[in-house]
């Protein structure tokens, strides 16, 4: 193709290992068939020089974003999203950690998946390795016994997609940004994105392995039971014990994750409601008849026991009327008043 696909890779960096960081950046630079821009959020506020030197050594196009204070991983991703969207035009956005290794065809294969499956976000499996990349422990999804289908039900039992394998479309990155929240550790950015995309778009899990997922003493999250991972493969007795522990861990997670995911969905819907109300306020400023319509409605409903509920639904109702009014103008105005009169009439005092 004449023009390469533009991909932004967003990487938060916090007190990195120089060797691990070099391997990760080199593997990003080696991606085939795409034009890569590496965007690093200097979350620790002191690693910019290290990142710049590494990028120059590898020869990758680099952009660094420096926050005003130290950031955790979710805050760094949100900050990076905002900075990237404001600074670049791109086709796809990928997330990555500072200490893993990508296979050369990761991005190209994931772009093909997004196109063929008509998805908004895709994630893949990863091969778990030890700290110096000399031993492989196998599929991350098999080790953690993760469900393969990214449904909202499966997400309620815990996060099943790892952020460092994510590739998303430009449109979804813009859609997700307003809903991302600085959440506690139980709901990191990748968990939030999985839920958001399951609600408003399409998520696809690619079972192929495109990442070597390094486990070491300084992992921010790591995989479940990672401290016992080496023992699982080196001792049959310990393997059986750890499988029992992992099963108990998963059962306890399932008991409380429904409440957690419900809380986040409510947060997403509340945010969307606020955006609707903002649009409603702008519509009221531009078209005075909407304001008059609201006053008349509130006046008629002021005595009704469900006044509070109906009043809170009014921005949604009036925005629908507003969209119709913009298309049909005068005739629609009289039709809207007539419909509103029919709807409200049963609530009036006899």
In a domain, 311, yes or no: yes
Average pLDDT score over residue span 206-213: 96
Residue 100 predicted with pLDDT over 70: yes
Q: Enumerate residues 6+ apart whose C-beta is below 8 A from 111.
A: 5, 7, 34, 92, 167
Higher-scoring residue by pLDDT: 156, 73: 73
Single out the residue in 201, 225, 250 at which a domain terminates: 250
Q: pLDDT value at position 262?
A: 64
In a domain, 273, yes or no: no
Q: Which two tokens stand for residue 128?
A: 């778990």
Both 34 and 113 in a single domain? Answer: yes
Both 43 and 134 in a single domain? Answer: yes
Higher-scoring residue by pLDDT: 184, 204: 204
Both 63 and 159 in a single domain? Answer: yes
Both 245 and 300 in a single domain? Answer: no
Q: Which of 269-273, 291-295, 343-347 has the lowest mean pLDDT?
A: 343-347
Dihedral sign for Cα 293, 298, 303, 308, please.
positive
Both 79 and 226 in a single domain? Answer: yes
Neighbours of 88 (CB within 10 A): 14
Both 128 and 188 in a single domain? Answer: yes
pLDDT tens by residue, 167-180: 999 999 998 888 88
In a domain, 267, yes or no: no
pLDDT band for position 28 (50/70/90)? very high
In a domain, 271, yes or no: no
pLDDT band for position 44 (50/70/90)? very high
pLDDT band for position 200 (50/70/90)? confident
Q: pLDDT value at position 179?
A: 84
In a domain, 191, yes or no: yes
This model's pTM is above 0.75 = no
Higher-scoring residue by pLDDT: 159, 39: 39
Average pLDDT score over residue span 78-98: 93
Q: pLDDT value at position 241?
A: 45
pLDDT tens by residue, 223-276: 544 444 444 334 444 444 444 444 544 555 554 555 556 666 666 665 655 655
- Looking at every residue in the chain, the average pLDDT score rounds to 76
Q: Enumerate residues 6+ apart whose C-beta is below 8 A from 113.
A: 119, 122, 204, 206
Q: pLDDT value at position 317?
A: 55
Q: Give the residue numbers spanning the domain of 337.
A: 287-347
Establish how many alpha carbons lie within 13 A of residue 131's alpha carbon, considering only the half-sphere containing its beta carbon: 8
pLDDT band for position 304 (50/70/90)? very low
pLDDT tens by residue, 54-78: 999 999 999 999 999 999 999 999 9
CA 197 → CA 38, 54, 190, 336, distances in Å? Answer: 24, 34, 11, 35
Average pLDDT score over residue span 185-211: 88
Both 192 and 295 in a single domain? Answer: no
CATH number of the domain that residue 17 is part of: 3.90.550.10
Both 130 and 197 in a single domain? Answer: yes
Residue 212 predicted with pLDDT over 50: yes
User: For residue 313, with 0-12 CB atoms within 10 Å meaning exposed, 13-18 middle and 19 or more buried, which class applies?
Assistant: exposed
In a domain, 295, yes or no: yes
Higher-scoring residue by pLDDT: 348, 145: 145
Q: pLDDT value at position 35?
A: 94
3-state helix vs strand vs coil in the chain, percent to 5: 55, 15, 25
d(CA 165, CA 163): 5
Both 25 and 114 in a single domain? Answer: yes
Q: pLDDT value at position 293?
A: 57
Q: pLDDT value at position 218?
A: 55
Residue 181 predicted with pLDDT over 50: yes
pLDDT tens by residue, 126-149: 999 988 888 888 999 988 888 888
């Amino acid at each position: 193709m004449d023009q390469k696909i533009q991909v932004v890779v967003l990487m938060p960096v916090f007190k990195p290992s120089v060797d691990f960081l070099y391997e990760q950046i080199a593997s990003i630079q080696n991606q085939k068939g795409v034009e890569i821009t590496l965007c690093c959020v200097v979350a620790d506020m002191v690693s910019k020089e290290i990142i710049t030197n590494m990028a120059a050594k590898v020869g990758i196009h680099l952009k660094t974003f420096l926050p005003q204070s130290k950031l955790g991983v979710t805050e760094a991703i949100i900050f990076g999203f905002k900075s990237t969207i404001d600074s670049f035009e791109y086709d796809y956005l990928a997330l990555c950690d500072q200490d893993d290794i990508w296979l050369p065809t990761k991005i190209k294969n994931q772009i093909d998946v997004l196109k063929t499956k008509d998805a908004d976000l895709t994630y893949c499996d990863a091969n778990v390795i030890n700290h110096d990349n000399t031993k492989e422990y196998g599929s991350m999804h098999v080790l953690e016994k993760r469900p393969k289908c990214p449904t909202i039900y499966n997400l309620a039992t815990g996060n099943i997609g790892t952020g460092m394998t994510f590739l998303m479309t430009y449109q979804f990155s813009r859609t997700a940004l307003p809903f991302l929240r600085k959440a506690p550790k139980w709901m990191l950015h990748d968990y939030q994105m999985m839920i958001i995309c399951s609600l408003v778009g399409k998520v696809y899990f690619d079972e192929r392995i495109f990442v070597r997922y390094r486990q070491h003493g300084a992992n921010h999250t790591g995989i479940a039971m990672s401290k016992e991972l080496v023992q699982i493969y080196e001792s049959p007795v310990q393997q059986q014990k750890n499988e029992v522990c992992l099963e108990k861990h998963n059962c306890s997670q399932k008991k409380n994750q429904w409440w957690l995911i419900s809380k986040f969905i409510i947060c997403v819907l509340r945010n969307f409601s606020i955006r609707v109300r903002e649009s409603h306020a702008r519509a009221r400023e531009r078209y005075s008849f909407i304001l008059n319509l609201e006053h008349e409605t509130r006046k008629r409903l002021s005595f009704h026991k469900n006044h509070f509920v109906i009043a809170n639904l009014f921005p949604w109702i009036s925005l629908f009327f507003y969209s119709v009014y913009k298309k049909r103008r005068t005739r629609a105005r009289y039709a809207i008043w007539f419909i509103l009169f029919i709807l409200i009439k049963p609530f009036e005092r006899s």
